[in-house]
Copies of this chain bind each other. A is one copy, B any other.
Amino acid sequence: MSVSTKKEVVRKFYQLPPLELQSGKVLNEAVLAYETFGTLNQAKDNAILICHALTGDSHAGSSDGVPGWWDGIIGPGKALDTEHYFIICANVIGGCYGSTGPASRHPEDGKPYGLRFPVVTIRDMVQAQYHLVKSLGIERLLSVIGGSMGGMQVFEWAVMYPEFVETYIPIATSARFSAMGIAWNNIMRQAIVNDPDWCQGNYYGRTFPKKGLNLARRLGMITYRSFDLYEERFGREMNPLCNPFSMESEYEVERYLCYQGNKLVERFDANSYLYLLKAMDLHDICRGRGEYIHVLEQISAHGLFIGIDTDFLFPAQELKQTAEQLKSIGKPVQYREMKSIYGHDAFLIEWDMMNEWIGHFLSERRGTV
């Protein structure tokens, strides 16, 4: 089934089998919205799965005249060369870009789930993706790649389906979400639930909790960037028309944050935002599996870990340490660190480094280097 959205992006939909969630609950009649780029070869051994970040969607590559969010590394001649690889990207369970989430209709009464939607985890997202990939006739992925929340999924892929994954590339992420990360998420969630329009999640068909989601996004935008970038881009610039000595005065950086908040309000569901933050909070490759080092031992794929020196949401140190622990038990892993002014979001901006490192790593695996 192909449906054209407003943006003219053509997504495909996959009907999931009943999904037994990490919580023990079962999610019935759920779908995954996904897109593919490039062509699956006859041997079905050229598939790469992309996992998106918090507010991302399946449109990683460019198609239908609409640029993808990872357009800089997906396409002919790029690291994820669509002339060699078959690229798959699905919107996560819990999301709001076609996959089943809290804004979807509950199969029992046809009304939006709202808070009746079950808590989903990174593992649940990965399990759903696994069903999708298998449904395409693929028995092994050349690579699973993603940044931020996408990188969390990458880690779970490597642990949950070790034989299914030849390589994995977690970027600007961690194997267990940090206390500081949970703290950021707590404040973003609270910003939404404090909004009277949120109405315990029952705002569908009523007033959308704009102010709450806008505020949450402003905070997000801080954690995705760096001190130096803001200093360079905005400094202390203020709208020259406003009186600086008034409570309404607005610095350029404030205008930017408000603009970014409004942009997200136009395109994202507030409940999805809450659920996906909760999934990030719960991310811990050790939960129910024992000691960290024993969990790492279950991984058999080759890893390329990419940290970002200015990332303060996922300090590079975290990925670096995990890479070192993997090396200490003989697991094949490379660690690279981007030097970038862009902070966490560098993985959506620094195309040169991304293409060189990922392209080289994948080519090496294909034996062409």
Contact = CB atoms under 8 A, between A and B. Distances in A.
Candidate in A21, A179, A233, A278 with the most chain B CB atoms within 10 angstroms: A179
A259 interface: no
Q: Which of A233, A257, A312 has the most CB of B within 10 A?
A: A257
A227 B196 contact: no
B215 A191 contact: yes
Interface in A109-124: 115, 118-119, 121
A239 interface: no
Interface in A180-199: 180, 182-184, 186-187, 190-191, 194-196
Contact of A190 (B215, B230, B246, B282): B215
Contacts of A25: 245
A253 B243 CA distance: 39
Nearest to A275: B247
Contacts of A252: 179
Contact of A315 (B177, B191, B227, B274): B227
B194 A245 contact: no
A183 B21 CA distance: 38
A327 to B, nearest CB: 22
A11 to B, nearest CB: 28
Given A222-B180, A315-B227, A257 B194 contact: no
Contact of A184 (B23, B222, B282, B284): B222
A206 interface: no
Contact of A218 (B176, B190, B281): B190
A230 B177 CA distance: 12
The interface size bin for chain A is: 35 or more
Contacts of A219: 187, 219
A101 to B, nearest CB: 14
A229 B87 CA distance: 40
A254 B179 CA distance: 9
A183 B315 contact: no
Contacts of A115: 247
A231 interface: yes
Contacts of A196: 196
B190 A231 contact: no
A251 B182 contact: yes
A235 interface: yes
A23 B234 CA distance: 23
Contacts of A15: none
Ranked 5 nearest A-B pairs via Cβ: A23-B245, A179-B230, A179-B234, A186-B254, A119-B245
Interface of A: 21-25, 115, 118-119, 121, 176-180, 182-184, 186-187, 190-191, 194-196, 211-212, 215, 218-219, 222, 227, 230-231, 233-236, 243-247, 249, 251-254, 257, 274-275, 278, 281-282, 284, 312, 315
Given A180-B253, A247-B278, 13 more contacts: A23-B245, A119-B246, A178-B227, A178-B230, A180-B222, A182-B236, A182-B251, A186-B257, A187-B215, A187-B218, A194-B194, A227-B312, A251-B281
